[in-house]
Amino acid sequence: MHLDGFFFNALVREIRPQVAGARVEDVYGSPRGSLIIQVRAPGQTRRLEIPLPPRSFFLSQAPPEQKIGTPLAQTIKKHIDGYFCHSLTNPPFERLATLAFSSAPEEAPGFFLHLEVMGRQNDLFFCREDRVIATTRTAKQGAARSLLPGDLYSPPARPAKALPLHLESAALALLLSLNPDCSHALLNAVFGLGPLLAQEICAQAGLGPVPAHSPAQGAPDRLAGVLADLGRASLEEKAEPVLYEDLGPYWRPLTHLPPPERTFSSLSAALAFWICRSREENREGQLRRQLAKALATAALKAESTLAKQKIELSRAQGFSLYRETGDTLLASLAAVPRGASAVTLENVYGGGPLTIALNPALSASANAAFYYKKYNKYKTAAAKVAKLIAANQELLAYLDSLQYTLEAAQSLAELQAVRAEVEEYGLVKGPRPIKAVKLPPPDYHRFFTEGGTPVWVGKNNRQNEWLTLQAADKEHYWLHCRRSPGSHVILCSKAPGEADLAYAAALAAWYSRERSSPKVEVVWTQVKNVRKIPGAKPGQVRYTEYRSLFIPPRPG
């Protein structure tokens, strides 16, 4: 976001008439981490929102949110609750705004809220007269302006640059002769400019890079004119708020860029939209990383457990040898010397002699009983371990499907659906459960074949299960990528033609992990042949009487 001095001018002048003279009703923090100053103007309540750390401020149009009593908000509220917003000011072209508060409209202000948006150092200072009461600034050793509670407030020093309205063409001619880059020359000399606006001024003046010591004819005059026009526009409330997809909001359209993504009725609306979208994107990124880490950890744990179980199974699978040993001992009791620690006997099951370790303190029959006990123990263990291995393999397949769903999720809502499923099965900790509410039908993908037949595609495991086992007609057709996680696809037809089946199969291939493959094997059968695996996780099914085909993935 390019909140330069020109943008800041326009923003302050847009907000000033809407808060000046209004009475402070409340001060609180929002769930989004902003400071909210709620004021009551004649006939209307307004909420001034300052995101923290303070990189902008705007009048919020969103519905009221949960109020959070942060220490900063409570401190400010204690001093100005019921006070009036005496004024909102800023030095021209500086990214510094001051809200002044007084006990009555005709009284002199006694409290001030200073907002400094300096790029690298953005801070908020709440003061009684000149004395700092509360601030967002943290202590930094050796800082030129510590400005902690109890210090006297002083504004930041202004750079030694010319104001846009006071820069004459002669000075601009000298700048251009010293610096071959027009926009860079302006940035170094003109106060309040950012890189974006410097490029715009050069473009409006018809200048690109200027050769050193040879400015174009009339260039200084054109630059001075453009600077003056833009400076006056920002001071005279002539903003035309726009939003650029990658750059964010700006106070006016820029001719050197492609057309903006959208326009707004106010700068506050543009800032609120951009910050809300940025927060959502940040939340998406954080949630995606959290879920990816949780799934990777769960998969690693399951794989480690599975490896141990396979080792245990290989040990237990030799249980039949213990029965052979016991039977051989019982068949040759007379041939076993008393007190022997080992004996070699002919295996009653064939295969030659069998050397058997013995406990010298036990009789031959007691040694046989020992081997029968081990036989029964390992026989039971082998069956249990085999079941545990199957369960772990199913868990790994389920985690793989969740990982695919996470990779395919394209919105915060889809990510939250994955999180809900992950939380339910204890892979990440979630909030305490609340009373269940009836949810609307899942927002799955909907397509149509050339003949108009609907095709439904699930976005996650829950949607897959809901579509297949609840929503679909039992006579309709179910498709899925074979041997890979992917979406359940329902072709809503009882007698589909080859073209419709091929269309739905291409979708099943596309909405799977095999999307990048040249051809994917897709299975299809009627919905009535698909059953949920008893006790399995969402979306895990068995199917019978199926056919398959290899088909290139297509997005529909």
Which pair of tokens denotes residue 526?
A: 């009627």
Residue 387: partners with Cβ closer than 8 Å, 6 or more residues away: none
Which pair of tokens denotes residue 388?
A: 């545990």
Measured CA to CA, the distance from residue 255 to residue 250 in angstroms comes to 12
The pLDDT of residue 253 is 94
Q: Are 190 and 162 in contact (CB under 8 A)?
A: yes
pTM: 0.62
Measured CA to CA, the distance from residue 76 to residue 48 in angstroms comes to 14
Measured CA to CA, the distance from residue 485 to residue 475 in angstroms comes to 24
Task: Return phi, psi of residue 387, to 5°.
Answer: -65, -40
Q: Are 486 and 508 in contact (CB under 8 A)?
A: yes
CA-closest candidate to residue 226, choices 208, 255, 256, 204: 204
Task: Tell me whether residue 68 is exposed, middle or buried, using C-beta atoms within 10 angstroms of its C-beta: 0 to 12, 13 to 18, 19 or more.
Answer: middle
Neighbour count for residue 502 (Cβ, 10 Å): 17
The pLDDT of residue 488 is 96
Measured CA to CA, the distance from residue 416 to residue 169 in angstroms comes to 57
Biggest alpha carbon–alpha carbon distance for the chain: 123
Which pair of tokens denotes residue 509?
A: 């291939």
What's the N-to-C CA distance of the chain in angstroms? 37
The pLDDT of residue 483 is 86
DSSP 258: P
Describe the chain by its helix, strand, coil percentages, rounded to 5: 40, 20, 40
Q: Are 521 and 482 in contact (CB under 8 A)?
A: yes
pLDDT digits (tens, 9 = 90+) for 312-335: 787 776 777 888 888 888 888 888
Q: Are 241 and 251 in contact (CB under 8 A)?
A: yes
> What H or E segment, with its residue span, contains residue 505?
helix 498-510
Please count the CA atoms within 13 angstroms of the CA of 487 that sit on its side-chain side: 29
Q: Mean pLDDT, 10 residues at a time, over the chain (556 residues)?
A: 89 94 94 92 90 89 86 95 95 94 94 89 92 88 77 89 86 80 87 92 77 60 91 91 91 92 93 86 84 90 90 76 86 89 89 89 91 84 84 88 88 85 74 46 87 94 92 95 93 94 95 93 95 87 93 91
Neighbour count for residue 148 (Cβ, 10 Å): 15
CATH class assigned to 5-135:
mainly beta
